[in-house]
């Protein structure tokens, strides 16, 4: 029977074969768009070799475009300076309970504080960069005794993922090189190999240890058992000849996320904007190289001279020769100046194409807007809504595959660490808490439907002017709730159905009292007239009785 390490290495071999289809594109994207990233470019950890690739970069425009994409995604989806999530329940009736609303609000506040004191937001920004470049990002979220959680953002080439039958990543293997000192501190001197132990004893603390980590569903997980873990984590030293592992531990929650930008079929790895724009990114480097060559051809053209005559090509330099006339130096080919203009125009068009494929033009829409400035707010909103529909699937995927996983992880850590207030009695037995995303990009996606609501309200309102019964068709309460939900209005600004019912009952009572007050003078006049008639004598009988037909 194979050991745990052998099982892991066998599975890793299969995952490496699947990822190999993407590596050629990843290497090219990294070289042109982010030379300092992607561990597979240099073997593993040789930073000097990775930096040396900058010498082959002729134009850094693509780097700026994808940095704009990463910054826009960070600010639009998970900014630390504005709300991007809120907690709710699947049972709308529970939201009418004051203690439930207070508990959800307090938990939301505590989770925001937890995220803020970790490195989550920095890791999230790094991940958005990876997502736009390579189509897949990954981050491992480990519990920490001091700050609660530490995020380890990964880059393309140092991890492998596998999907579950639900088509989401549930397995992650990664290469995490450590120094000999780090390995001894992490796993203990008795667990590391003799090679690592000897290096540590000789004070060769910086010797690298090629450590692998496997995070995967635990086949021995027992649901409902608090001592059983849903995921297991296995570390081993690749160079250790002994068939053993460094450590096996477990996690109650999924300790990593691995969202994809877009998917093709059942692929494990995603498809990125940089892959779509790779042709333009590649051509941009070639055109810049040609532009430099054209400039050199104009400034320093190739020359044919008499034997023995050596020209330096340096400005202001004087070359002495015994017998030189104007025909002694010949330029066989003179670079036309129009060529430089044509190349520059081509580079400008490539800039536009790169901005379009990287969505940089979307996030810089107002800054780069053509025409008279400033535009009115309605036009800006219309332009943004039109373009943001293109990001809709990616926004949903990031919310579900990244942010929701991070929220579940943090909520689990805080629950186990007794960092949350006690659960309200009304929520006992509730299996799940609903997470709603209220980031800028998410809300703008949802607000695309506000125009339909406004047009419907306007149409019914105009129709009701001629046909009052048309207003009966419109459920204004539901319309207000739907509009507020799409617009991201804070729940405390919208009254609950119970509060609205009480308010309307009080208003009806006030209206009844007002009508009664208006009727009082007429009632009083009627009472006085009846009293007068009853006191008037007609043939020995009261006039009131005579009028009423009394005998």
Summarised one tens digit per residue, pLDDT across range 8-18 is: 999 999 999 99
**Whether residue 146 is found in the same domain as residue 185:** yes
Q: Is 46 a residue whose pLDDT tops 80?
A: no
- Name the percent of the chain lying above pLDDT 70: 79
The Cα-based distances of 448 to 326, 389, 442 in angstroms read 72, 8, 10
Summary count for the chain: helices (H), strands (E) = 19, 14
The pLDDT value recorded for residue 35 is 77
- Quick check: 374 and 220 in contact, CB under 8 A? no
- Distance (Å, rounded) from C-alpha 138 to C-alpha 150? 14
**Whether residue 209 is found in the same domain as residue 156:** yes
Q: Is residue 269, in this structure, part of any structural domain at all? A: no
**Whether residue 183 is found in the same domain as residue 208:** yes
**Whether residue 177 is found in the same domain as residue 237:** yes
**Whether residue 158 is found in the same domain as residue 191:** yes
The pLDDT value recorded for residue 173 is 97
**Whether residue 167 is found in the same domain as residue 198:** yes
Q: Is residue 355, in this structure, part of any structural domain at all? A: no
Of 240, 258, 276, the position where a domain reaches its end is 258
Given CA atoms 303, 306, 310, 311 in this order, what sign does their dihedral have?
A: negative
pLDDT interval class at 475 (50, 70, 90): confident
**Whether residue 217 is found in the same domain as residue 184:** yes
Q: Is 47 a residue whose pLDDT tops 50?
A: no
The Cα-based distances of 267 to 136, 172, 263, 356, 521 in angstroms read 11, 15, 6, 25, 82
pLDDT interval class at 49 (50, 70, 90): very low
- Quick check: 444 and 384 in contact, CB under 8 A? yes
Whose CA is closest to 8, among 160, 188, 151?
Answer: 160
Q: Beta partners for 88?
A: 434
**208-233: average pLDDT:** 92
Ranking 184-188, 243-247, 363-367 by mean pLDDT, the lowest is 363-367
Q: What number of other Cβ atoms are within 10 A of residue 157's Cβ? A: 21
**170-184: average pLDDT:** 93
**Whether residue 454 is found in the same domain as residue 541:** no
Report which of residues 40 and 303 the model is more confident about.
303
pLDDT in tens, 71-102: 989 988 999 988 899 888 888 778 778 888 88
pLDDT interval class at 447 (50, 70, 90): low
The pLDDT value recorded for residue 51 is 44
Q: Is 401 a residue whose pLDDT tops 50?
A: yes
The pLDDT value recorded for residue 48 is 37
**Whether residue 183 is found in the same domain as residue 250:** yes
**444-472: average pLDDT:** 77
Number of domain units in the chain = 3
Using the structure block, give the residue that is written with the tokens 């494990």: 268
User: Average per-residue pLDDT in the chain?
Assistant: 83
The pLDDT value recorded for residue 139 is 96
Locate 112 and state its tokens. Answer: 């925001």
- Quick check: 228 and 212 in contact, CB under 8 A? no
Whose CA is closest to 61, among 236, 334, 284?
Answer: 284
Torsion, Cα 361 364 366 367, to 10 degrees, reads: -110
Q: Is 268 a residue whose pLDDT tops 70?
A: yes
pLDDT interval class at 448 (50, 70, 90): low
pLDDT in tens, 137-166: 999 999 998 899 999 999 998 999 999 988
**Whether residue 488 is found in the same domain as residue 516:** no
pLDDT interval class at 185 (50, 70, 90): very high
**164-171: average pLDDT:** 91
Q: Is residue 500, in this structure, part of any structural domain at all? A: no
- Could you tell me the residue range of the domain that residue 247 belongs to? 4-56+138-258
Q: Is 386 a residue whose pLDDT tops 70?
A: no
**Whether residue 468 is found in the same domain as residue 533:** no
- Quick check: 209 and 179 in contact, CB under 8 A? yes
The pLDDT value recorded for residue 307 is 72
**Whether residue 462 is found in the same domain as residue 533:** no
Peptide bond into 374 cis (omega under 30): yes
Task: Enter the pTM of the model.
Answer: 0.78
Using the structure block, give the residue that is written with the tokens 């007429």: 522
Ranking 292-306, 413-427, 491-505 by mean pLDDT, the lowest is 491-505
Q: Is residue 327, in this structure, part of any structural domain at all? A: no
DSSP state string for 70-98: HHHHHHHHS-TTS--EEEE-S-GGGGGSH
Of 192, 225, 258, the position where a domain reaches its end is 258
**486-513: average pLDDT:** 76
């Amino acid at each position: 029977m194979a050991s745990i390490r052998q099982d892991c290495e066998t599975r890793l071999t299969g995952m490496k074969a699947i990822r190999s289809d993407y590596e050629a594109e990843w290497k090219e994207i990294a070289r042109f768009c982010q030379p300092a990233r992607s561990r597979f470019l240099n073997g593993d950890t040789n930073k000097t070799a990775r930096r040396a690739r900058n010498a082959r970069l002729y134009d850094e425009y693509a780097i700026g475009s994808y940095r704009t994409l990463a910054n826009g995604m960070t600010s639009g989806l998970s900014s630390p300076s504005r709300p991007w999530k809120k907690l709710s329940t699947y049972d709308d009736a529970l939201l009418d309970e004051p203690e439930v609303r207070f508990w959800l609000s307090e938990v939301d506040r505590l989770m925001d504080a937890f995220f803020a004191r970790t490195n989550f937001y920095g890791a999230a920004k790094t991940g958005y960069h990876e997502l736009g470049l390579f189509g897949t990002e990954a981050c491992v979220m480990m519990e920490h005794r001091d700050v609660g959680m530490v995020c380890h953002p990964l880059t393309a080439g140092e991890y492998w993922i596998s999907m579950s039958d639900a088509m989401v990543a549930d397995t992650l293997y990664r290469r995490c090189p450590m120094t000999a000192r780090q390995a001894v501190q992490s796993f203990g001197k008795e667990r590391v190999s003799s090679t690592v132990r000897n290096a540590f004893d000789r004070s060769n603390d910086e010797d690298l240890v090629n450590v692998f980590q496997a995070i995967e569903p635990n086949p021995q997980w027992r649901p409902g058992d608090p001592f059983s873990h849903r995921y297991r984590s296995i570390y081993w030293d690749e160079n250790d000849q002994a068939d053993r592992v460094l450590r096996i531990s477990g996690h109650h929650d999924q300790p990593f996320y691995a969202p994809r930008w877009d998917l093709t079929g059942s692929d494990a790895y995603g498809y990125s904007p940089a892959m779509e724009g790779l042709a333009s990114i590649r051509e941009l480097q070639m055109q810049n190289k040609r532009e430099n060559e054209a400039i050199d051809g104009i400034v320093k053209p190739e020359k044919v001279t008499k034997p023995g005559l050596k020209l330096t090509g340096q400005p202001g330099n004087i070359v002495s020769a015994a017998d030189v006339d104007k025909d002694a130096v010949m330029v066989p080919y003179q670079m036309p100046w129009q060529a430089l203009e044509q190349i520059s125009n081509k580079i400008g068009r490539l800039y536009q194409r790169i901005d379009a494929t990287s969505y940089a033009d979307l996030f810089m829409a107002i800054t780069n807007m053509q025409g008279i400035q400033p535009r009115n707010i309605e036009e800006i909103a219309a332009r943004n809504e039109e373009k943001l529909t293109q990001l809709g699937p990616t926004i949903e995927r990031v919310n579900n595959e990244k942010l929701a996983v991070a929220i579940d992880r943090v909520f689990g850590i805080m629950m186990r660490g007794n960092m949350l207030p006690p659960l309200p009695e009304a929520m006992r037995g509730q299996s799940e808490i609903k997470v709603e995303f209220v980031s800028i990009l998410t809300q703008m996606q949802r607000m695309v439907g506000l125009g339909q609501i406004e047009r419907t309200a306007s149409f019914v309102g105009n129709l009701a002017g001629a046909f009052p019964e048309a207003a009966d068709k419109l459920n204004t309460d539901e319309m207000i709730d739907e509009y507020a939900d799409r617009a991201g209005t804070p729940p405390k600004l919208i009254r609950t159905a119970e509060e609205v019912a009480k308010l309307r009952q009080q208003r009806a009572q006030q209206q009844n009292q007002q009508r009664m007050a208006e009727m009082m003078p007429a009632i009083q006049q009627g009472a006085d007239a009846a009293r007068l008639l009853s006191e008037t004598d007609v043939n020995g009988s009261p006039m009131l009785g005579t009028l009423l037909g009394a005998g």
